[in-house]
Amino acid sequence: MKETLERIRQEALSALEGTQAIQELETLRVKYLGKKGELTAVLKQMGKLSAEERPVVGQLANEVRATLERAIDTASQNLEKAALEARLKAEAVDVTIPGKAAVLGRRHPMYTALSEIEHIFVGMGFTVLDGPEIELATYNFDKLNAEEGHPSRDWSDTFYFDQDSRVMLRSQTSPMQVRAMESMSLPIRIIAPGRVYRKDEVDATHSPMFHQVEGMVIDKDVTMADLKGTLNLLAEQLFGKGTVTRFRPHHFPFTEPSCEMDVQCHKCGGVGCPTCKGEGWIELLGAGMIHPNVLRMAGIDPEEYSGWAFGMGLERTAMRRFKIADLRLIFENDVRFLEQF
Ligand code: PHE
């Protein structure tokens, strides 16, 4: 029996030496130490031994068991360590390999134009405001002196959210005039850029979503001359010295008197071409002296204060600024187009 135990010890230990995988260890453990294993089989025959032999063989059997258990443990730890090392080696990152260059985009030309506009106005002491695109008709129309029945309130022009025409996508940035009057203390100098929405079909000059920049000044003794002076300065700084502008009388419910400002067409220099639709001029903005009703509704005394406002089309400004012929290019985001700016 002693010989059998010694044989088991030798066999098991040399088998262990050759193991390559954790599963093999388990197989060996079952083979020698398991319930039906060889060592257990020997122990089951202990009853046949004499009383003197039994403790000696028992002790040896325990020794063999302990040796094998320890050996299996050690082998298993070694295998795990080797596996980890192999994995770390396989997954190692070579930090010396040159990296992939990140492709850097650039600012969209319309936003370049906007930041130039903001820069010009901030330089004149204006604050830049942001406001809601989902707007109350009260702000978009009523408080801007455009009563019920005014053509611009029509369902065919405006995106309403409700049957009662109370909530809408703003059709202009002019509600920001009122929001500024209601929330700021006088005097006020603000610009308010943002998206506006109208039910227009897409073509070379129209889109149902476009951008405007609203501008407004309210102070004592503000006149139309200040408005023209400011807008001419804007045109020169944006489009270059000597840029020719033209002011035409117009009508808006919230300004009186009202005008539109055109700049001479950059393509033809005023002669008339497809870009300016033969006009020689490109319409850039609407403007005027703020209507006394609008001031009064916002709680400002029109006898004491006066103001002017303008609303310019941002896409058109960018088109004039960067000599872009078609509005759709601004929205299509074709990289070949955007890369040119
Ligand atoms: N809100 C007008 C428009 O969208 C433009 C405008 C703004 C006119 C401010 C006068 C004063 O056409």
User: Is 174 a pocket residue for ligand 1 (Cβ < 6 Å)?
Assistant: yes
Q: If you take atom 4 of ligand 1, which residue's CA is the nearest one?
A: 172
Which of the pair, 233 or 268, is modelled with greater confidence? 233
Query: What are the helix (H) ranges across 19-155?
Result: 22-33, 38-44, 53-91, 109-123, 137-140
Domain residue spans in the chain?
2-90, 109-338
Q: How far is the CA of 94 from the centre of ligand 1 (A)?
A: 60
Decide whether any atom of ligand 1 lies within 6 Å of the 309 Cβ. yes
pLDDT at 175: 98
* Contact of 257 with 311, CB cutoff 8 Å: no
Query: Best of 135, 172, 228, 262 to mutate for ligand 1, by most ligand atoms within 8 A of CB?
Result: 172
Give me the pLDDT at residue 46, please: 80
Confidence of residue 137 (pLDDT cuts 50, 70, 90): very high
Residue with the larger pLDDT of the pair 197 and 99: 197
Q: Is the CB of 255 under 6 A from ligand 1?
A: yes
Q: How far is the CA of 252 from the centre of ligand 1 (A)?
A: 7
**What is the per-residue pLDDT for 196?**
98
Cβ of residue 280 lying under 6 Å from some atom of ligand 1: no
If DSSP codes are grouped into helix, strand and coil, which group holds residue 254? coil
**Inter-CA distances, 144 with 198, 199, 323, 334, 336, Å:** 17, 20, 34, 38, 42
Residue spans of beta strands (DSSP E) within the chain: 127-128, 134-136, 167-169, 188-197, 209-219, 245-252, 255-264, 281-290, 306-313
- Of 288, 237, 299, 297, nearest in space to 259 by CA: 288
pLDDT digits (tens, 9 = 90+) for 90-127: 888 888 999 898 888 889 999 999 999 999 999 999 99
> Does residue 227 carry a pLDDT above 80?
yes
pLDDT of residue 8: 84
- Residue 240 tokens read as 């270059």
Q: Say if residue 331's pLDDT is above 90.
A: yes
Residue 18 pairs in a beta bridge with none
CA of 172 to the centre of ligand 1 (A): 7
Residues 240-285: pLDDT tens digits? 998 999 999 999 999 999 999 999 987 788 898 887 888 999 999 9
**159 pLDDT exceeds 90?**
yes
pLDDT at 50: 84
CB 250 within 8 A of CB 260: yes
Residue 109 and residue 234: Cα distance in Å, rounded? 18
What Å distances lie between residue 277 and 173, 280, 321, CA to CA?
A: 26, 8, 18
pLDDT of residue 309: 98
- Find all residues with CB under 8 Å of 326, minimum gap 6, and list them: 204
Give the pLDDT confidence score for residue 189 in this predicted structure: 98
Does residue 197 have a pLDDT over 90?
yes
Q: Which residues pair with 312 in a beta bridge?
A: 213, 285
Tell me the CA–centroid distance for residue 332 and ligand 1, in Å: 26
Q: Considering only 38-52, 116-130, 166-180, which range has the smallest mean pLDDT?
A: 38-52
Amino acid 290: pLDDT: 98
Q: What is the pLDDT of residue 270?
A: 87
Atom of ligand 1 nearest to the CA of 312: 5
Is any ligand 1 atom within 6 A of the Cβ of residue 190?
no
| Per-residue pLDDT, 119 | 98
What integer pLDDT is reported at residue 250 of this predicted model? 97
User: In angstroms, what is the span from residue 286 Cα to ligand 1's centroid?
Assistant: 5
What pLDDT does residue 304 have?
98
Q: Ligand 1: which of 217, 252, 254, 316 to mutate, judged by most atoms within 8 Å of the beta carbon? A: 252
Q: What is the mean pLDDT of residues 321-334?
A: 91
Residue 14 pLDDT: 84
**Per-residue confidence band for 181, with pLDDT thresholds at 50, 70 and 90:** very high
Dist. CA 240 → ligand 1 center (Å): 24
Kindly state if the Cβ of 175 falls inside 6 Å of ligand 1.
no
Q: Give the Cα separation of 162 and 175 in Å (integer).
A: 19
Q: Indicate whether residue 140 lines ligand 1 (CB < 6 A).
A: no
Percent of the chain surpassing pLDDT 90? 58
Whether the model clears a pTM of 0.75, i.e. scores above it, the answer is no
Q: Which residue has the higher pLDDT, 159 or 61?
A: 159
Which pLDDT band holds residue 75 (cuts at 50, 70, 90)?
Answer: confident
Question: Topology of 109-338 in CATH?
Answer: BirA Bifunctional Protein; domain 2 (3.30.930)
> pLDDT band at 64, cuts 50/70/90?
confident
- Nearest-CA residue for atom 9 of ligand 1: 310
Q: Is the per-residue pLDDT at 330 higher than 90?
A: yes
Q: In the prediction, which pLDDT does 32 show?
A: 83
Q: What are the pLDDT digits (tens) for 302-327? A: 999 999 999 999 999 999 899 888 89
Percent of the chain with pLDDT over 70: 100
Residues in the chain: 341
Q: How far does residue 275's CA lie from ligand 1's centre (Å)?
A: 23
Mean pLDDT of the chain, nearest integer: 92
Q: Is 215 in the pocket of ligand 1 (CB under 6 A)?
A: no
